[in-house]
């Protein structure tokens, strides 16, 4: 399973061309660093323990790119944080946000 996930925008205004690309690298003692660019030019990065997991994630991003680019990422982040706060509250954990 991935350790962290981030998204960077490419700022390329010509999103009509297919820009798909990926890069999987591994340094000694580290997990596989996986960088994927979808056909909209949006760049995603994640880390995986195995090359197979990294490759699967590349395909997952490309299969779901229409969905990723049709939703409001800020709204998704807000909802995810609210869900985490609710889980913490139900578990009687101290609020961190």
Residue range 13-41, pLDDT digits in tens: 444 456 899 999 999 999 999 999 999 99
Instruction: Identify whether the C-beta of residue 33 lies closer than 8 Å to the C-beta of residue 26.
Output: yes
- Give pLDDT tens digits for 52-65: 999 999 999 999 99
Residues 32 and 22 sit within 8 Å (Cβ to Cβ): no
A 10 A CB-CB count for 61 gives 20
Q: The whole model's pTM is what? A: 0.59
Task: Return the DSSP state at 3.
Answer: S
Number of CB atoms found within 10 A of residue 67's CB? 8
Using the structure block, give the residue that is written with the tokens 């909209």.
Answer: 40
Q: How far apart are CA 24 and CA 28, in angstroms?
A: 14
């Amino acid at each position: 399973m991935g350790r962290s996930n981030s998204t960077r925008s490419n700022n390329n205004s010509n999103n009509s061309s297919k820009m798909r690309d990926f890069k999987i690298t591994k340094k000694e003692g580290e997990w596989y660093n996986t960088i994927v660019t979808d056909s909209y030019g949006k760049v995603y990065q994640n880390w995986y323990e195995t090359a197979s997991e990294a490759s699967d994630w590349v395909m997952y991003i490309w299969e779901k790119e229409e969905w990723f680019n049709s939703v409001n990422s800020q709204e998704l982040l807000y909802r995810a944080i609210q869900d985490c706060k609710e889980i913490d509250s139900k578990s009687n954990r101290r609020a961190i946000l």
